[in-house]
Structure 1
Amino acid sequence: MASNTHVLFSIIAGLALWCGPGWLIARAVMIRRVPAIVLAPALGWAVQNMAMLAVAPMIGLSPSAILLVTALVCVGAPLLRRGRTVPPTTDAGARLVLPALALAALLACIPAAAVLPKVGADGAVALATPIYDHAKIALVDEIARHGVVPPANPVFGSGGAPGVISYYYLWHFGAAQLVILTGATGWEADAATTFFSAFAALALVAGIAFRFHPSAMAPLLALAAAASGSLRPLLASLFGATRVDQAIEPATGLAGVLYQASWSPHHVASASCVVLAVWLLAQARSRPSPGTAVVLALLVAAGFDSSLWVGGVTFALAAGAAVLVLAARRPSEARGRFLALVGAAAIGAGMLVAPILLAQLQVAMARGGGPPIRIEPFAVLGPAIPAGLRMFFDIPAYWLVLLPIELPAIAFAGSVGLFMTLRRRHGPQRGTNRLAAALGTLSLGALAVSAFLVSTAGENNDLGWRAVLPAVLVLSGFAGAAMGGALQRRRWLAMGVAVLLIAAGLPDSWALASGNLRGVRSMDSGTFAGDPTLWAAVRREVAADVRIASNPGRLEQLTPWPINLSWALLSQRRSCFAGPEMALAFAPLTPKQRADATDLFARVFAGEGTSADLAQMHQNFGCGAAVVTAQDGAWRNDPFAASPLFRLAQEEDGRWRIYVAATQGGTAP
């Protein structure tokens, strides 16, 4: 089971691994009007991970390789200053943002808590609902265990082959580095990296607020706005949950940074890269340099390799619009050099993302189906609105209803702060208006992507949910700047409205924090608590490259949606088929193939499998081992016991049986 002590140690290792290089790079390439310390976490995470990922296929992934690449990044950071005509970033004002960084670290504990197990006095384990989306911990373990890039597919490999990973796995690659450096488990490293991603994003929010209103209060107020949640709980208490559900669609994944970091921290990390990339673009409009182009290419690549939806689709459309806005602005003297820098960075980023991009295209072709994206308004209004009118009214309702409800603290104050900055209300600093225009264009573009494009590759509209993240980070920063300005000028009415909106979203934030910290106990919680012993026995009997057949629906009560968390979090072994949910994200299977595999494994582990079924599992899915537990129907009618393809390797009376292929020799190291 994951240990809080090991998670804390991994967090410290992550801060050292990524913040140090990030601080040096920020001092070299970022402008002077924001302390490097607030940009360091997100910037260092992106550059170090991309540098390591680029060379890992040649030098492997080991502690010495990680430390060597990190040292080279640190040594090379000062070289990025070449070609710059202004002094490097200093840490003037760093003391002003230290309270905000402390608050960011405290808030980042909320998403991290969603990943950690909660062990009760009786030994049963409660898990928070977002742990469902962290089943990809199996990928972290796969990368760390073998130290090979690109990694094998831990979910499915035809005939037992390593298989191809099409998922954007840079975030999981970063977590795997922590496993290798600290000896933590993938589960512990995932929790630590979740903390870091949230902390880096919130530090960036504080940096945006400080950039547009240099003070101690603006970053703190920006974080308060970012931490505030949805108005739904308040509306339900005022009007009744039934009426609210009739008026608008139920809540989705479109939410603030703490919620999204709890569920999908890799999308949050990608959003940080996107915002930093546009920040650099705005700076490069008047000060293009080779160093800026290098860092920009790494940021763009890190954003894409962490999230196809945020760093790919959203960045291409929203940041592309920002580039056009920047290129059209005066003066025109540096326009050619700026466009040359953009082109060079695009080529560099394209070369860096090519391996993951080609793998995604390969798997998309294997899956078949229609286009992964379609144009369709985001569903906002509920059944109280006639279906014929709903799609038409959904378009204005997205901007006038959904965003104010889901992001109340930043939809108003953030927009006001952006408008005030564009009107030059925050001082005469050179470049402020240009940066505000670029970040404002990014925000508007990201919200437009969410409003009008729908992803169809999975069961959910991940594109619509995640595309808002760059806008959430930017508008949170502008909200802090606006409130800081209102406080300084004693505009109590505006300040009161902003504080009221923040307070109105706090019940939702409290519910998120409470749920993440307490978790949910289920009828499977007690059984799950004993599973570390099961998987330790499996690792003793089964080699690291052997695929295991286990019941994909086992302990399905642990999460609201059925998935074998026991295997994903604890096994540190590959599966020959980990279930339809994991296969949907990772496996190059058509919908029919996925459904047939689901039926096959369900039938076998229900105790209804035939010898032909086991032969298919062994040959087509490459199952070199199998685990049957007392919770499976196959425990009482075990098809593996009578099969000549498998032999019993180990049995724990009344708990589990471990089978290995009859032709497999030896045991795991």
Structure 2
Amino acid sequence: MALFPHILIVLVIALGTWTTIGLAVAPQNLPPTQRIAAAPVIGWAVHSSLALPLHMLLGMSRTAIMVQFAVSLLAAGVVFIRRIDRSDVSSVPPWTYAAAVFVALAPAIAVFPKPFADGVALASPIFDHSKVAIIDEIIRNGAIPNNPFFGSGGDRLSYYYLWHFSAAELAVLIGVSSWEADAGLSWFTAAGSLLLMMGLAVWMSGRAASAAIVLLLAMTASARPVLAYALGRPAYEWLLQEASGFGGWLFQSSWAPQHLMSASCAIVATILLTETSLRNRSGILLLGLIAAAAFECSVWIGGVTFALASAAAAAMLLPGMMPKRRIEFIAGVLCASLLTALISSPMLRDQYMAAVQRGGCFPFALQSFWVFGDTVPFRRPLDVPGFWLIHLVVELPAIYPIAVCVIVLMLGDRMPNHLPKPITAGLLSIVACGLVIAAFGVSTVGINNDLAWRAALPAAMIMIVFAAAGISDWVARPKRLGLATAALGLGLGTPEGFQIIRQNAFPNATESARAFAKTPEMWATVRRHAGPFERVANNPYFQRDLTPWPINIAWALMSDRRSCYAGLEFAIPFTRLNDQQRNAIDAQFKRVFEGRAEPADVNELADRYGCTVAVVAAADGAWISDPFATSSAYRLVEEERGAWRIYRFDRDAKAN
């Protein structure tokens, strides 16, 4: 199980290392407030995007990682000492830095195990943190991971895994588990994004109070609970579609830290794109590395949203440039783009091959976001205006309405904005493109609309910045109407924010919570009988009630071994199988572990999917009707009476 002291060590080392690197490489023409606030994100992005190709060549040994970290820190320290200016003082109040780290614990704690009596409860976001299996795979196999979720033909993993690679680095460097590294890096990611927003809000408003307001706004969520109470549950369910994965900072940082890091990198890259850093080679290099990190953490944000937003920002900036400056800008952007493509080429190749093998379908399509309930008349035509007038207000009540007001006031010069106009244009392009993509884009890979959910995240972060800047101005003047609007938004968004935090910290225990507490011993035994590169077969739906959707979370968090088939929820995003193939394989594994195996099933587990070791638990239907016990292909190697049996494939016995 993950231990809090180990998670805290991961956080401290991550903050110390990547902040130092970020302070060394951040552009000097940024104000101190923004340089310091963006340092963790910049340092992580530069270090990780360079470390990944390096470790593709050197491997993931502890010695290689220690040397690489030591050289990076030493070089960063030397550069930082030479560049330090005692006049550089951040306008962000020092106490808010500590407050940001504390607030970042709210989403990160969702990853922590919650022990009680003789059991362990897990919060719902642990479902998406099942990608801990990717971290284990990188530690075992190196920076070019095979697919830990499915074994057929030794497919390489087709996923944007830079965030998980950096977690694997920390796990090897410190000697903690992959689960602990995931939790610590989630905490760091949330803190880094908060610091970035705080710095931007202070820079924009010129008021230190806006940093604290960022933290307050970040803790809010949807108005759905308040709306359901006010309208009554039947009317609420008739009016609106049920809640989806669309959400603000608190919700998305709990579930998908890799996308949150991509959003932070996209914001920093946009700032670099729109200010003057592209006039020198170091600025071009920095932009290329951070853009690559954004893509390698999230195709939806770094590969779609940022690409469109940066193109829109460039289109706004180019007409106002002098001809010579225009040529310099275009040349700098092209060079940075080539560097991004070069660094990201291994993942680009894998994503392309996965799309081809799935049938060559385009990864996203146009479709209006569904807002209204299925029984609302003319609901589909109404969805288009409903997204802007209802959905965004419901999902981001403390952010969207206030940010829209502030943006209108700033554009009309009725509210101060201390950001340079090019940077303001770049940030507005992120908001506009992110929300337009969310309104009309739908991803065709998988069953969830990840494109819309993730495209909205960088837009939501920038809207927090605008809203915080505006509220700080209304407090200082003061403006009663603005403050009343802010109070209403906070009142609507705070209840679900508290609910998310409570559920992250104090989840309800399921029926399997006590059994889950005993599984580490089982997986330790499995590791004794299965080599690091062998695949394990066990029930894909083992203790399925531990997560909102049925997956084998015990395998993902604690096995440290590849699965030959980890279940349908993993097969959809992480394999190149079409629907028919996935459903047939899923049905086959269900038959085996429910005790209804057909004659050829057990042999096929070994021959087709590489299942070297098989685990049958007492909760499986196969415990009573055990197909492995009667098979000539597998032999029993260890058993815990009344708990589990471990079998190993015996090639010689099968041949005889």
Is TM > 0.5 for Structure 1 vs Structure 2? yes
Counterpart residue number, 1:208 = 200
Q: Which of the numbers 320, 331, 350 marks the counterpart of 2:311?
A: 320
- What SS does structure 1 have at the residue aligned with 2:642? coil
CA shift, 1:619, in A, is 0.6
Structure 1 residues 633 and 646, CA gap change in structure 2 (3 angstroms):
same
Counterpart residue number, 2:440 = 452
CA shift, 1:416, in A, is 2.8
Residues 1:196 and 2:188 are matched in the alignment: yes
Counterpart residue number, 1:353 = 344
Residues 1:56 and 2:55 are matched in the alignment: yes
Say whether the 8 Å CA contact 1:154–1:575 is kept in structure 2: yes
- What SS does structure 2 have at the residue aligned with 1:608? coil
Residues 1:166 and 2:167 are matched in the alignment: no
How many angstroms apart in 1 are the aligned matches of 2:426 and 2:579?
Answer: 41
User: Per-residue CA shift, 1:420-450, capped at 9, x if unaligned?
Assistant: 4334456585x62221111111210111011
Matches within 5 A, 1:304-315: 304-315=295-306
Say whether the 8 Å CA contact 2:270–2:310 is kept in structure 1: yes
Say whether the 8 Å CA contact 1:33–1:211 is kept in structure 2: no
Counterpart residue number, 1:376 = 367
Counterpart residue number, 1:110 = 106
How many angstroms apart in 2 are the aligned matches of 1:61 and 1:36?
Answer: 31
Say whether the 8 Å CA contact 2:259–2:454 is kept in structure 1: yes
How many angstroms apart in 2 are the aligned matches of 1:295 and 1:54?
Answer: 16
CA shift, 1:127, in A, is 0.9
| Greater mean deviation of Cα atoms: 10-19 or 205-214 | 10-19
CA shift, 1:79, in A, is 10
How many angstroms apart in 2 are the aligned matches of 1:463 and 1:187?
Answer: 27
Q: Which of the numbers 389, 394, 398 marks the counterpart of 1:400?
A: 389
Q: Which of the numbers 610, 631, 641 marks the counterpart of 1:622?
A: 610
- What SS does structure 2 have at the residue aligned with 1:447? helix
Q: Which of the numbers 625, 638, 647 marks the counterpart of 1:650?
A: 638
Matches within 5 A, 1:93-108: 93-94=89-90, 96-108=92-104
Q: Which amino acid aligns with 1:599?
A: A
- What SS does structure 2 have at the residue aligned with 1:626? strand
| Greater mean deviation of Cα atoms: 410-419 or 60-69 | 60-69
Counterpart residue number, 2:120 = 125
| Greater mean deviation of Cα atoms: 268-277 or 2-11 | 2-11
CA shift, 1:474, in A, is 0.8
How many angstroms apart in 2 are the aligned matches of 1:281 and 1:335?
Answer: 13
Counterpart residue number, 2:570 = 582
| TM-score normalised by length of structure 1 | 0.93
CA shift, 1:325, in A, is 1.2
Structure 1 residues 348 and 76, CA gap change in structure 2 (3 angstroms):
farther
Q: Which of the numbers 271, 282, 299 marks the counterpart of 2:290?
A: 299
Q: Which of the numbers 178, 185, 189 marks the counterpart of 2:170?
A: 178
Q: Which amino acid aligns with 1:645?
A: A
Q: Which amino acid aligns with 2:65?
A: I
Structure 1 residues 30 and 133, CA gap change in structure 2 (3 angstroms):
farther
Matches within 5 A, 1:379-458: 379-386=370-377, 389-424=378-413, 432-458=420-446
CA shift, 1:306, in A, is 0.5
Structure 1 residues 79 and 351, CA gap change in structure 2 (3 angstroms):
farther
Structure 1 residues 119 and 415, CA gap change in structure 2 (3 angstroms):
same
- What SS does structure 2 have at the residue aligned with 1:639? coil
Matches within 5 A, 1:26-37: 26=26, 28-29=27-28, 31-32=30-31, 34-37=33-36
CA shift, 1:309, in A, is 0.7
- What SS does structure 2 have at the residue aligned with 1:324? helix
Structure 1 residues 419 and 664, CA gap change in structure 2 (3 angstroms):
farther
Structure 1 residues 22 and 312, CA gap change in structure 2 (3 angstroms):
same
- What SS does structure 1 have at the residue aligned with 2:144? coil
| TM-score normalised by length of structure 2 | 0.95
Say whether the 8 Å CA contact 1:127–1:519 is kept in structure 2: yes
CA shift, 1:490, in A, is 1.8
Counterpart residue number, 2:477 = 489
User: Per-residue CA shift, 1:499-557, capped at 9, x if unaligned?
Assistant: 33123211010000000001121111111110001101111121111100010011111
CA shift, 1:80, in A, is 9.4
How many angstroms apart in 1 are the aligned matches of 2:494 and 2:449?
Answer: 26
| Greater mean deviation of Cα atoms: 524-533 or 322-331 | 322-331
Say whether the 8 Å CA contact 2:34–2:196 is kept in structure 1: no
How many angstroms apart in 2 are the aligned matches of 1:469 and 1:63?
Answer: 35
CA shift, 1:71, in A, is 4.6
Say whether the 8 Å CA contact 2:21–2:77 is kept in structure 1: no
Q: Which amino acid aligns with 1:580?
A: L
Q: Which amino acid aligns with 1:391?
A: R
CA shift, 1:99, in A, is 2.6
Structure 2 residue ranges without an equivalent (≥5)? none
Say whether the 8 Å CA contact 1:422–1:436 is kept in structure 2: no
CA shift, 1:492, in A, is 3.0
Say whether the 8 Å CA contact 1:367–1:590 is kept in structure 2: yes
Counterpart residue number, 1:154 = 148
Say whether the 8 Å CA contact 1:80–1:291 is kept in structure 2: no
How many angstroms apart in 2 are the aligned matches of 1:253 and 1:91?
Answer: 44
Structure 1 residues 142 and 485, CA gap change in structure 2 (3 angstroms):
same
Residues 1:143 and 2:138 are matched in the alignment: yes
How many angstroms apart in 1 are the aligned matches of 2:29 and 2:164?
Answer: 27
Q: Percent identity?
A: 38
Structure 1 residue ranges without an equivalent (≥5)? 82-86
CA shift, 1:116, in A, is 1.0
Aligned residues: 651
- What SS does structure 2 have at the residue aligned with 1:519? coil
How many angstroms apart in 1 are the aligned matches of 2:571 and 2:149?
Answer: 6
| Greater mean deviation of Cα atoms: 358-367 or 417-426 | 417-426
Matches within 5 A, 1:45-84: 45-74=44-73
How many angstroms apart in 2 are the aligned matches of 1:135 and 1:310?
Answer: 21
How many angstroms apart in 2 are the aligned matches of 1:170 and 1:89?
Answer: 33
- What SS does structure 1 have at the residue aligned with 2:448? coil
Q: Which amino acid aligns with 1:314?
A: T
- What SS does structure 1 have at the residue aligned with 2:612? strand
How many angstroms apart in 1 are the aligned matches of 2:415 and 2:280?
Answer: 28
CA shift, 1:660, in A, is 1.0
How many angstroms apart in 2 are the aligned matches of 1:556 and 1:654?
Answer: 20
Q: Which of the numbers 325, 330, 338 marks the counterpart of 1:334?
A: 325
User: Per-residue CA shift, 1:338-377, capped at 9, x if unaligned?
Assistant: 1111000000000011100100111121122632211010
How many angstroms apart in 2 are the aligned matches of 1:328 and 1:481?
Answer: 29
User: Per-residue CA shift, 1:472-516, capped at 9, x if unaligned?
Assistant: 111111111111112222223312321331232110100000000
CA shift, 1:134, in A, is 1.1
How many angstroms apart in 2 are the aligned matches of 1:659 and 1:182?
Answer: 33
Residues 1:504 and 2:492 are matched in the alignment: yes
Counterpart residue number, 1:84 = none
How many angstroms apart in 1 are the aligned matches of 2:387 and 2:399?
Answer: 15
CA shift, 1:601, in A, is 0.7
Pairwise CA RMSD of aligned residues?
2.1
Say whether the 8 Å CA contact 2:536–2:611 is kept in structure 1: yes
CA shift, 1:73, in A, is 4.2
Residues 1:634 and 2:622 are matched in the alignment: yes
User: Per-residue CA shift, 1:268-312, capped at 9, x if unaligned?
Assistant: 110001111101111137x62211111111111111110111111
Say whether the 8 Å CA contact 1:30–1:88 is kept in structure 2: no
CA shift, 1:65, in A, is 2.7
How many angstroms apart in 2 are the aligned matches of 1:49 and 1:499?
Answer: 40
How many angstroms apart in 2 are the aligned matches of 1:29 and 1:471?
Answer: 26
- What SS does structure 2 have at the residue aligned with 1:234? helix
Residues 1:17 and 2:17 are matched in the alignment: yes
Q: Which amino acid aligns with 2:152?
A: S
How many angstroms apart in 2 are the aligned matches of 1:332 and 1:79?
Answer: 38
Structure 1 residues 214 and 88, CA gap change in structure 2 (3 angstroms):
farther
- What SS does structure 1 have at the residue aligned with 2:33? coil
Structure 1 residues 444 and 428, CA gap change in structure 2 (3 angstroms):
closer
Residues 1:251 and 2:243 are matched in the alignment: yes
